Structure 1
Amino acid sequence: MAASFAATFAALASLSGTAAAQPTQDAQAVVAPAPHVHLTTPWTDEALKAPVPFPEYPRPQLVRAEWLNLNGQWEYWGGKGAPDARLAPTSAPRFPEKTERVRVPYPVESTLSGVERLGEVNLWYRRSFEVPATWKGQRVRINFGAVDRLATVYVNGTRVGQHEGGYTSFGFDITPMLKPGRNELVVAAFDPSTNDGTLGKQSLKPGGIFYTPSSGIWQTVWLEPVGQAHVAKLDMTPVVGEQRLALTVRAGEAKGLQVEAVALKDGQVVGRVRGAADKALSLPVPQPRLWSPDDPFLYDLKITLRRDGKVVDQVDSYFGMRSIEVGMIDGVPRPLLNGKFVFQFGPLDQGFWPDGLYTAPTDAALRFDLEETKKLGFNMVRKHIKVEPARWFYHADKLGLLVWQDMPQAWDAETDLAVRAKTEVEWREIVDQLRSETSIVTWVIFNESWGDFEHRRMAAQFRAMDPTRLINAHSGINFAPHDEGGGDLIDLHDYPGPAAPTYQPWRIAVLGEYGGNSLKVPGHMYRPESKCCYHLFDSAAAINDAYVAQVDKLRGFRADKGLSAAIYTETTDVEEELNGFFTYDRRVKKLDFDRVSTANKALIDGR
């Protein structure tokens, strides 16, 4: 969604009924949110009843057979009396005799967490676990999908490690701290939700186009057994023109380790390579079946790690074979998927939920938004300044949706060099974590003027980190500092629009945001008094006609102005926003999906 932080609130004040806000957030000055309706989704009850929420294995591109899910009920210590988690001690503090309960992995501000409080800064979690007897003789790692923002982990009172950044996964070897029988796990999270860290659309003053924060543990926590030598990460890049997968198997204690990688197509071996761990390998994929939105075919991958001929680790994975590049078609720069121009069209996807905020209530819910995006006839989705769990990308890979992945911004990075440096570190971690995802075709670095800096340098930095994808350095060039010439895309925002920018030599013209057509659906609104955003229609017939008319204009821009992609705002309503295809609770379709799909497919197909 669009505009600078302060200007956005000012511009939307008349729409949303909220006062204009300053572009600062003070962790000690939380504004009590206006009363809202506690909406439930079709998955709320299932999430509340589940003894272990999200029972699915959380890391589809590096799967181990044995693991222990630690989601569920934990003890919680927060509020004013909780110790400072930013200066977490070397030993875990003693918890009070009476504590609250929190349902992990839902943010503490959410209904599903059981806490549902805004303004928690120091969050302390505790639970016990027992290591399965079958893991005897192996190392034990604890893994976190994500914890916002600074996490410190303790096992049996001893500090194990710390991780900063609310959007990336991390883990630690906890073997030396374990004991027979019951073990105690404590996690401290410091999350002020302030502008000196990456936070996306989270705000301590939620309203208009900014939303309730999501603090602490918000993705799955799990244990797994590994050997001293084990697969830590897989870096995979399809090289379609050479019919191979570029593969590096990252391994702990890699010296002397040998890798065998086997690619399978429908259960049949099609390629095999052997070589050293931590070295670049080339896995043959002859006559590859190419991945695309029309045919999202994925190969299975089996990795075996050996030392002196003995198997020390085995993991399962998958990959897709596809290419993405800029090419010239009839003198117009176009995005080429597998060597062919594919018009990319999809919704702006915020990834917020009325019951779980940053965390979908279930894996089926996480998949639902993407399934409905496909049903609407789209072939792409822009994930807006949030990084989803690994299973979201797995669903996008399986369903066949191209993904534009935004970088979550830190507002203060615009002027504070220390915040800027920290932000760049986190972005490198995000790119490194997601580089093997088939569906991601574009990195979006800056959204409008939100915490932006040095566009050309950052475009070059992302190119160096990942030369295999398109770079969108500045989504919304009509916002300061306007277009500085970096990256592969020249990206305009226009509400309600649409409009089209002028393409440049080897820079693709895209409409990064438009639409925002709003419709009230009584009984399914987070704030019934809301009028946000950008044009409020008075009937379903009117909003449907407007949508189709906008897509018809895009068809003309594709043919006459060289437009190559467009993003419509948005997948669902979000809190005060009313411009989704679905209501915020995902219970009501606000537009005629058949009519929308027909219009969308005509645009994509060039008809």
Structure 2
Amino acid sequence: MDRRDFLLQSGTLLAGAALAPGSLAMSGSNQAEEPQQSRMLLPINRNWRYSPSVVDGGHAVAFDDSSFDRVVIPHTNRSLPWHSFDEKSYEFISLYRRPFKLPPEAKGKRIFVDFEGVMTASTVWINGQKLGEYKGGYTPFSFELTPNINWDGSNLLAVDVDSTERPDIPPFGFEVDYLTFGGIYREVWLRVVPSTYIENIFAMPKNVLNDQRTLEVRCFLEGPASEWNRSRTLEVELLDGDRVIGKASEKVTGPAPAPGQPALQAVTLSNLGAIRLWDLQHPELYHVRVRLIEQGKLVDEDTRRFGFREAAFTDQGFSLNGKVIKLRGLDRHQTFPFVGQAMPGRVQRRDALILRQQLKCNIVRTSHYPQSRHFLDACDEIGLLVLEEIPGWQHIGDKAWQDIA
């Protein structure tokens, strides 16, 4: 799952608050809401075991990690003083372990682990089986756990975190003028979905400045070819709070998705004249809800939040919704004293409020890398424009480097 995919999944409801002790109920301060019928998003941020070095056999389920530190995510791999420290002190490979049990209602569904940010490269293991390596410290990523899950007992998630400056991974390869720190510094989730599910949603408003505006909703579907000949429908609703203000549906058509390549189907909502635009003073936000239906029964459901707006650079300057505005902004790094980048969502959101309300900015530049969804969500809510950058500093690497960036 790339950054766009994961950020667009932030509208998913949470579930799992009633799990037994020793299971996902202990995973963090995130209190889960009522479960959706089709999917669950389970936080696993508490009760991690941490070692500042990789240990032989440390990925095995039976490994004794009682000597490891118990840590909470977000976590920095090394606590640092306020200033005057050696930046090499956080450049090492560490090991994180997290046992978990799944709730009974997850049985028979597909299980993914979603990492929002790990610095810098992550090798993920489930129950002693290596799933692969993800390169990149600023973008979310996922691995499917389903084939290796123990449905009736305990499971063990292990992550080798390489926080060294590797020239094959952005922003490294030359010099950077900022510190990168290390660790699993953003939240981790287990995502439970049906065998065929809505992998992603992308809402694209069109003609927003006239009464003929429409909303194209691109739905990405993932599932086995054996289920693809079933008669299914995509139902799409545009929500203003709890009120449905637009809807449309389409039969699911086209070829079955290839593994790792979701099938795309677009549904267009029309007659959306009475829409309030997102702007700096009135950052109006809507939700789009997509349901996958088979024979009148819900297969899967997901939502996204977005706004209607038109942004363009013209000869007269930057234009928002047809009006030229003067941009006043600052750069923002996601680093903090003592803990590096490992700050929870409430602090990330607070930075957006400081920029907008205290410093009177109307735009922020995410220097020099993609930043926390909590920060970006807050910007959406308070009318703060965002200029988001790829990881880097005066250097562009080879094709593989660019693909990661």
Hey, what's the Cα distance between the residues in 2 that align with 1:379 and 1:325? 15
| Deviation per residue, 1:152-205 (Å, 9 max, x gap) | 2111111223322112212122122111121111111223124442138x989x
Q: Write the letter of the residue equivalent to 1:167.
A: Y
Structure 1 stretches of 5 or more lacking a match? 1-50, 414-418, 428-607
Query: Which secondary structure state, in structure 1, belongs to the residue aligned with residue 351 of structure 2?
Result: helix
| Deviation per residue, 1:518-574 (Å, 9 max, x gap) | xxxxxxxxxxxxxxxxxxxxxxxxxxxxxxxxxxxxxxxxxxxxxxxxxxxxxxxxx
| Deviation per residue, 1:352-402 (Å, 9 max, x gap) | 111432232x32211111112121322111111121122221111111110
1:322 equivalent in alignment to 2:309: yes
Offset of 1:304 from its aligned partner? 0.5
Paired residues of 2:121 and 2:163 also in contact (CA < 8 A): yes
Name the residue aligned to 1:131. Answer: 102
Name the residue aligned to 2:404. Answer: 426
1:265 equivalent in alignment to 2:240: yes
1:154 equivalent in alignment to 2:125: yes
Please give the residue correspondences for 1:580-595 in structure 2 after superposition, counting only pairs within 5 Å: none
Paired residues of 1:72 and 1:105 also in contact (CA < 8 A): no
Name the residue aligned to 2:321. Answer: 338
1:210 equivalent in alignment to 2:196: no
Q: Write the letter of the residue equivalent to 1:324.
A: A
Name the residue aligned to 1:383. Answer: 366
Name the residue aligned to 1:247. Answer: 217
- Which residue, 253, 275, 279 being the options, matches 1:288? 275
Hey, what's the Cα distance between the residues in 2 that align with 1:369 and 1:63? 35
Name the residue aligned to 1:565. Answer: none
Paired residues of 2:77 and 2:90 also in contact (CA < 8 A): no
Change (3 A) 1:203 1:73: farther
Q: Write the letter of the residue equivalent to 1:76.
A: Y
Hey, what's the Cα distance between the residues in 2 that align with 1:305 and 1:238? 21
Paired residues of 1:138 and 1:226 also in contact (CA < 8 A): yes
Query: Which secondary structure state, in structure 1, belongs to the residue aligned with residue 215 of structure 2?
Result: strand
| Deviation per residue, 1:244-290 (Å, 9 max, x gap) | 22221112128455321100123221111212361232223323210
Structure 2 stretches of 5 or more lacking a match? 1-25, 82-86, 253-262
Change (3 A) 1:306 1:138: same
Offset of 1:297 from its aligned partner? 0.4
Offset of 1:117 from its aligned partner? 8.9
Change (3 A) 1:243 1:355: farther
Offset of 1:64 from its aligned partner? 8.1
1:393 equivalent in alignment to 2:373: no
Name the residue aligned to 2:146. Answer: 175
Q: Write the letter of the residue equivalent to 2:45.
A: N
Name the residue aligned to 1:67. Answer: 41
Higher helix share: 1
Name the residue aligned to 1:367. Answer: 349
1:104 equivalent in alignment to 2:73: yes
Offset of 1:291 from its aligned partner? 0.2
Change (3 A) 1:64 1:377: farther
| Deviation per residue, 1:284-328 (Å, 9 max, x gap) | 332321001111000122110123443111112211000111234
Hey, what's the Cα distance between the residues in 1 that align with 2:190 and 2:281? 37
- Which residue, 348, 354, 361 being the options, matches 2:331? 348
Query: Which secondary structure state, in structure 2, belongs to the residue aligned with residue 72 of structure 1?
Result: coil
| Deviation per residue, 1:225-248 (Å, 9 max, x gap) | 110011111122221144122221
| Deviation per residue, 1:394-430 (Å, 9 max, x gap) | 11111111001122116663xxxxx421232123xxx
% identical equivalent positions: 25
Change (3 A) 1:410 1:423: farther
Change (3 A) 1:269 1:131: same
Name the residue aligned to 2:388. Answer: 405
Change (3 A) 1:222 1:396: same
Offset of 1:347 from its aligned partner? 1.5
Name the residue aligned to 1:279. Answer: 265
Q: Write the letter of the residue equivalent to 2:366.
A: K
Please give the residue correspondences for 1:541-560 in structure 2 after superposition, counting only pairs within 5 Å: none
Offset of 1:341 from its aligned partner? 0.4
Q: Write the letter of the residue equivalent to 2:159.
A: V
Hey, what's the Cα distance between the residues in 1 that align with 2:132 and 2:299? 26
Query: Which secondary structure state, in structure 1, belongs to the residue aligned with residue 340 of structure 2?
Result: coil
Offset of 1:214 from its aligned partner? 2.2
Query: Which secondary structure state, in structure 1, belongs to the residue aligned with residue 290 of structure 2?
Result: strand
Aligned residues: 350
CA-based RMSD: 3.3
Q: Write the letter of the residue equivalent to 2:115.
A: F
Name the residue aligned to 1:42. Answer: none
Offset of 1:82 from its aligned partner? 4.3
Query: Which secondary structure state, in structure 2, belongs to the residue aligned with residue 301 of structure 1?
Result: strand
Hey, what's the Cα distance between the residues in 1 that align with 2:104 and 2:197? 20
- TM, length-normalised to structure 2: 0.77
Query: Which secondary structure state, in structure 1, belongs to the residue aligned with residue 100 of structure 2?
Result: strand
